[in-house]
Amino acid sequence: MMIFLDSADIKEIEELATTGLIDGVTTNPSLAAASGMSFSELITQITKLVTGPVSAEVTALDAPTMIAQGRKLAKIASNVTVKVPLTFEGLKACKVLASEDILVNVTLCFSLNQAILAAKAGATFISPFVGRLDDCGADGMNLIEDIVNTYEKYEIDTLVLAASIRHSQHVYEAARLGADVVTIPGKVFRQLYNHPLTDSGLAAFMKDWQKSGLKI
Ligand code: E4P
């Protein structure tokens, strides 16, 4: 399973990318707005920090302008993935951009029917929003399961990118269900490796080692 960072914080991306475990980055207009940088500068910098896909979202609501914005964003770097919303206009834009071999991430997906249309439009990634479904009393992971199973049944190539991930249990479930990618905030990445038994076990090993006087 690929791990993307859901972040527009250059420092955070730079630090976590040093692990070599970050396969890509997703941004959205809210994250970009909070970065305090110009959008093109932000995306340019992120594409230099990770070699994998970097999602940059269009902000137009009509297909022709989405397509123009998408083409412009795709020119920033070869690993830019154009993010379009799962609307009538977004699907039309996806179809055109995908036909030009531009990577497309169709975002704000909340149903299997939407995911089927995105796949038909040639999306590289479909982004079902797990946490936001949970927020309104639904089970976001049911949607991941439905999309993964249906895409498998029809041998669809579109990758399932579990988004709106709020905690490590979401990552565990998404992995178990076969999502291709999870996009996670830096805070959740840290939750994946932290464990109190690792910390206490390491402290005990270090104490014994220091007492022994042994060296490597
Ligand atoms: C995904 O691409 C989105 O940027 C993101 O996962 C949204 O997460 P949120 O619902 O926590 O804002």
Q: So what's the pLDDT on residue 15? A: 98
Q: Which residues of 11-32 are buried (b: 16+ CB within 10 A; e: fewer)?
A: eebeebbeeeebbbbbbbeebb
At residue 37, the pLDDT reads: 96
Residue nearest to atom 4 of ligand 1 (CA): 28
Crossing angle of the two packed helices 186-193 and 168-177, in degrees rounded to 10: 80
Ligand 1 centroid–CA 214 distance in Å is 49
Q: Which residues line ligand 1 (CB under 6 A)?
A: 6, 26, 28, 107, 127, 129, 131-132, 163-164, 183
| CATH number, domain containing residue 125 | 3.20.20.70
* CA of 28, closest atom in ligand 1: 4
State the catalytic residue, choosing from 48, 75, 83, 215.
83
The answer to whether 73 and 80 have CB atoms below 8 angstroms apart is yes
**Listed residue (100, 137, 154) closest to 122, CA to CA:** 100
Please name which of 102, 120, 16, 121 lies closest in space to residue 53, comparing C-alpha atoms: 102
pLDDT value, residue 121: 98
Q: Which residue puts its alpha carbon closest to atom 8 of ligand 1?
A: 164
Angle (CA) 56 99 84, round 5°: 30
* pLDDT-flagged residues of the chain (< 50): none
pLDDT more than 90, % of the chain = 100
pLDDT of the residue at 81: 98
Give the per-residue pLDDT at 202. 98
* Mutation probe of ligand 1 site: the residue of 6, 46, 165 with most atoms within 8 A of C-beta: 6
Q: Which domain holds residue 166?
A: 2-212
Domain count, the chain: 1
pLDDT of residue 172: 98
- Annotated catalytic residue 83: yes
Residue 57: predicted pLDDT: 98
181 C-alpha to ligand 1 centroid (Å): 13
Report the candidate in 164, 133, 128, 23 with the shortest Cα–Cα distance to residue 81.
23
E strands, 17-158, in order: 24-26, 54-57, 80-85, 104-109, 125-128
pLDDT in tens, 201-212: 999 999 999 999
Express the helix, strand and coil content of the chain in percent, nearest 5 each.
Answer: 55, 20, 30
